Amino acid sequence: MQVVSFSKLGQIGLITIDNPPVNALSQAVRAGLKEAVTQGIADSDVKAMVVICAGRTFAAGADIREFETGMKEPFLPPVLSLIENSDKPVIAALHGTALGGGMELALGCHFRVAVGKAKIGLPEVKLGILPGAGGTQRLPRLIGAEAALKMIAEGNPISASQAKTWGAVDEIIEGDLKEGAIAFAEKVLAEKRPLRRASQLTAKVDDPDLFERYTSSIAVKQRGFLAPFNCIKAVRAATELPFEQGVERERALFLELVNSPQSKAQRHVFFSEREVTKIPGLPGDTPIRDIQSIGVIGAGAMGVGIALCCANVGIPVVLLEMNQENLDRGLAVIRKTYAGSVGKGRLKQEDMDRRLALITPTLSYGDLSNADLVIEAVFEDLAVKKEVFSQLDTVCKPGAILATNTSYLNLNEIAAFTRRPQDVVGMHFFSPANVMKLLENVRGDKTAPDVLATAQAIGKKLGKLPVMVGVCPGFVGNRMFMPRLRESFFLLEEGASPQQIDQAMFDFGFPMGPLATADMAGLDIAWRHRKVNYEQLTPREQACNLLDKICELGRYGQKTGAGIYRYDERRNAAPDPLIEDLIVKHSAERGVTRRNISDQEILERCLYVMINEGAKILEEGVAARPLDIDMIWVFGYGFPVYRGGPMFYADQLGLATVYEALLRYQEQLGAEFWKPAPLLEKLAKEGKGFY
């Protein structure tokens, strides 16, 4: 297939890129562009050229897969120089998303026109790299260093009109893009407009402290990432060096990143995020049930969050509670949440009113009779779930999907409370449900294929990243969270402090450590879980009863102002001498001699225990692929995106390294906690990874 074509419309040479789905600048496209531009330059009938793309978008960047396989010539920078050095005007005609190398292509042209809806940006930083085809040098010269710095180091696209204001776009085209671009080219010729070569402009920087100020402003948000800081260096070079040297600096900074583990991890996340929503073995054309209205049961924090998600995307919700007081409280939270967004200017008052009008409160199950999907978010107790699902079985129309938000209970048992287990599915939202991106959908043994497909589709519609998992206690995320928490308590007992454990995990890249997370989630939840499962615990787990001791003091975490840490009214954590004392006494009572524990041991014990559990989850088929586990941990539990998720990270470490450490800890701490999963053992011995 010819991915670049050249045609003539009078004196205008039209270069069309047609490389679906997003016109990525693959080797074939670069070669085609080079040939077409050369042809246009050589043809004396051609006086100007327009570069345009077929399909849904202007080029959305380099072909990211080529970073893995290695780029082949021609490279993009010399093709862009060829364009920029042409004496005939070259105009880029933008629509859709002109991103990354696509935007760099546009910057290499002398002029840019765009449809009003086009978006333009340099999102490379989100892949752990920086624009590597002159973007960091041309953009600051075109729109000034400050605006360019923000675009490049944060990676968010801007609208065509914003680009016009800043001078990155010359004209917004109202009607047909091709016609408009050709008319623009004719105008350039008629007016004999001088060619505007971005490389020959000067990058303006108004504030002498711009780069220092900006670096410190992103220090917290971009903690741990390499790419944003290399982006800053590259843009700075545009303000200090001639173009050619700036490009060399850009190249060096780009190469530093493109081969780094961080960028590999971020590219892995880019592709996995797209792959994960597809269910292996389920045909892509599986029919989807029509969801026009949703019922939510329970107006607690979870139910309210789910109701907000539905209303946010325009789906009517019936919100059911058992008593008026709870219902009123839930509705008040909904109103407060929206009012907060209006107050911050993120939501218009009329949109708030429209969303509120979509939520119908009720105390009667009968009002769920028309719902296409009902999501229950009631108390985590099988008897309560039985009551709810028996009622739903009676009132819901045939074909309605009955979903449970349970985070631990057995979905198959819940499905068996109905006469329609094929319609029952798990939809495990994460708190706060209107904010967290992850949605763990759970397939029961009898869940129908179209229900699975619908759960994924509606998850996406609600703005979530839906990952399909199988039934087991805690599913994937919480099942891996629990052994990590167990290890954290063991480490406390053996000599570590809460701060040391949390700091080690924070430094690894988590937004907070496991103990601070447990405080945030509510220690009572883990405590309740512990009590319910007490008989199944090993003797050491039973004896390591720090959680009991802390909870017995009424310290349930952030919500009670104290847990493992103490909290002020703004929920800032501080270490509590009372807890430190409690831990030391606990070790003494248990006859454990406290020792110095290295950060490395903390990291290994908290992370490898998860990786080992992940391997078991894969073996059992609870997660279909390692990428499902990785996306759950990146999008639901704050695993640093630049480490790609626990399974990808394990591969980067090398499974042999992980395996050897498991054997060491098995010796030190017992096989009941540290026996290597057979899959991990097998892969490590074969020198393979999870991927």
The residues assigned a catalytic role are 104, 124
The b-or-e profile of 553-583 (16+ CB within 10 A means b, else e) is: eebbbbebebbbbbbeeeeebeebeebeebb
Grouping H, G, I as helix, E, B as strand and the rest as coil, residue 557 is: strand
Find residue 296's DSSP bridge partners: 319, 375
Cβ distance to ligand 3HC smaller for residue 101 or 246:
101
User: Among residues 62 and 658, whose Cβ is nearest to ligand 3HC?
Assistant: 62
Alpha-carbon separation of residue 237 from 139, 149, 181, 299, 604 (angstroms): 12, 11, 33, 54, 40
DSSP 535: G
Site membership for ligand 3HC, residue 205 (CB under 6 A): no
Nearest Cα residue to 77 out of 9, 133, 160, 145: 133
Could you give the string, one character per residue 125-154, with x where binding to ligand 3HC holds by CB under 6 A and - elsewhere? --x---xxx-x-------------------
Work out how close the CB of 625 gets to ligand 3HC at its nearest, in angstroms, rounded to a whole number: 14
Task: Confirm or reject binding of residue 334 to ligand 3HC (CB under 6 A).
Answer: no
Binding of ligand 3HC by 115 (CB under 6 A): no
Identify the residue among 64, 358, 512, 582 touching ligand 3HC (CB under 6 A). 64
List 113's β-bridge partners, or say none. Answer: 93, 171
- Select 276 or 501, whichever has its Cβ closest to ligand 3HC: 276
Which range in 63-71, 80-88, 158-166, 543-551 contacts ligand 3HC by CB under 6 A?
63-71
Alpha-carbon distance of 404 to 629, in angstroms, equals: 21
| Pick 232 or 402: Cβ nearer ligand 3HC | 232
Q: Least CB distance from residue 271 to ligand 3HC, whole Å?
A: 6
Q: Applying CB under 6 A, which part among 18-26, 287-295, 441-449, 458-466 lies near ligand 3HC?
A: 18-26
Return the bridge partners of 438, or none: 465
Helix (H) / strand (E) element for 449: namely helix 449-461
Q: Is 539 in the site for ligand 3HC (CB under 6 A)?
A: no
For residue 122, the minimal CB distance to ligand 3HC (Å) is 7
**3-class secondary structure, 469:** strand
| In the complex, least distance from residue 187 CB atom to ligand 3HC, rounded to whole angstroms | 30
According to the binding rule CB under 6 A, does residue 22 interact with ligand 3HC? yes
Q: Is the dihedral of CA 144, 146, 151, 153 positive or negative?
A: positive
Q: How many CB atoms lie within 10 A of CB 475?
A: 25
Q: Which of 13, 40, 89, 100 binds ligand 3HC (CB under 6 A)?
A: 100
Of the candidate spans 98-106, 214-222, 333-341, 496-504, the one that interacts with ligand 3HC by CB under 6 A turns out to be 98-106
Q: Site for ligand 3HC (CB under 6 A): which residue of 12, 30, 34, 63? A: 63
Is there a contact between 472 and 479 (Cβ–Cβ < 8 Å)? yes
**Which residue type occupies 593?**
T
Q: Is 61 in the site for ligand 3HC (CB under 6 A)?
A: yes
**Is 688:651 a contact under the CB 8 Å cutoff?**
no
Indicate whether 345 belongs to the interface with ligand 3HC (CB under 6 A): no
Residue type, 411: L
Q: Specify the residue, 54 or 553, whose C-beta has the smaller distance to ligand 3HC.
A: 54
Tell me the three state secondary structure of residue 189: helix
The nearest distance, CB 116 to ligand 3HC, in angstroms, is 17
Stretch that binds ligand 3HC, among 120-128, 332-340, 401-409, 410-418 (CB under 6 A): 120-128
- Residue 400 structure tokens: 């309605």
The residue written with tokens 């917290």 in the block is 220
Cβ 328 vs Cβ 362: under 8 Å: no
To ligand 3HC, the closest distance from the beta carbon of 679 in angstroms equals: 27
Q: How many residues bind ligand 3HC (CB under 6 A)?
A: 24
Q: Is 228 in the site for ligand 3HC (CB under 6 A)?
A: no
Q: What mask, x for binding ligand 3HC by CB under 6 A, covers residues 240 to 279?
A: -------------------------------x--x-----
Q: Which residue has the tokens 């996340």?
A: 269
The string of DSSP codes covering 161-182 is HHHHHHTS-SEEE-S-HHHHHH
Residues that bind ligand 3HC in the complex, under the rule CB under 6 A: 21-22, 24, 60-65, 76, 97, 99-101, 104, 123-124, 127, 131-133, 135, 271, 274
